[in-house]
Each structure stands twice: as structure tokens, then as C-alpha cells.
Amino acid sequence: MSPAASAASLRNKLRRFRRSRRGSAAVEFAMVAPIFFALLFAIIETSLVFFASQILESGIQDSSRQLYTHQLQDSGLTLLQEEAAFKQDLCNSVKVLLSCPLDVDVKFYPSGTPITITDPIDGSGNYDNTNLVFQLPPKNSSATVVVRGFYQWPLFVTGLGYNIANIGRGSSNSKRLLAATTAFHVEPY
């Protein structure tokens, strides 16, 4: 085959290749698929975060009933045992989706005093649980009890540009701190 014929044959092949529509759907899908899957995974992760947050909220409210009804205080346990029993009850309530341990903050405020709640995430975006305590109101007090629970939810889609992290944002170990709060007024008993 002469060089001119081979060049003409190559041009014909290139022309046919350019006009051919076979495989265009696969090429278009390959261009759209990464964006589609990133969006799909971001939606799934956001849904899981909201679902886990609701489970934590329900668990905190259910476990706090022990304090509201004086069930835990009247059990004859020490404060450390009461804290362990409360955390275990909370873990049993949320074990469907969350793993233990969970951080719990239980504080009572005497009647008429302002309630101050601090954020456990510091200015650098790190989680600090050193100020979390477990304080139960003394007998015959009419105090307000605030119960908070915290869980560090691991995030996976943050590497794709979607970042709902509030702990370690921008790092490879970013997490979302889930928080649940309930407050109630204790009647003297």
C-alpha cells in the first residue's frame, strides 16, 4: 500500500470514528458519574447524621426519665455507680446506630439561678470533654436538671468536598459532634 493510500485510509478511519455515536452514552456517563455519586453519598451521609442525631436525642430523653422520676437517685448507688448505670442505660437505648462510650453532661441548677451551657468544641475545632460532669440535685431541692449527651460521628464523604464536620474540619480525621439536650424541673422528694 502506497503512503498516499495509507494516509487516505487513516483519514477515512478518523472521519468514521469522529462521526460514530457508538459509546457516547458511556463517555457521557463517565463524565457525570463522579459528580452524581459524590452527591448521592453526601445525601446518604447527611441522612445518617440526622438519623443518628435523632436516636441520640431520643436516648437522652428516655434515660433522663430515670433522673426525673428519682429512680436512679433512690437506687442506693454511689454517684459513680449512678453515672455508670445512666451511661449504660443510654448505651442500651442508642446501640442500634451508635457505639459506646458516649459522653454525658448532667448538671443541676438551683431554682432561680441562670443556666449556662458551654460548647465542648474549642476555638480550634477540637472536642474538649474535660468540663463534662455528672451532678445530681440533692434531696429535697427544687432544681433544674440539664442533661446533655455527645457522640463523635465519623464522616466519610468529607474528602469529596462536602464537609459537615465540626471537629477536626479539613483534617483526615474529621467528625461531626452530635449533641442532644433535655432539661426538666425536679420536684422535691
Give me the residue spans of the domains in the chain. Answer: 23-185
List pLDDT tens digits, range 138-166. Answer: 777 788 899 999 999 988 876 666 778 88
C-alpha separations of 104 from 6, 83, 123, 135 in Å: 79, 9, 21, 11
- Residue 181, pLDDT > 90, answer yes
Report pLDDT digits (tens) over 37-77: 888 888 898 899 999 999 999 999 999 988 888 787 777 78
pTM of the complete model: 0.78
DSSP the chain: --HHHHHHHHHHHHHHHHH--TTHHHHHHHHHHHHHHHHHHHHHHHHHHHHHHHHHHHHHHHHHHHHHTTTTGGG---HHHHHHHHHHHHHHHHTTT-PSP-EEEEEEE-TTSPP----SB-TTS-B--TT--B--PPTT---EEEEEEEEEEE-SGGGGT----SBSTTSTT-EEEEEEEEEEEPPP-
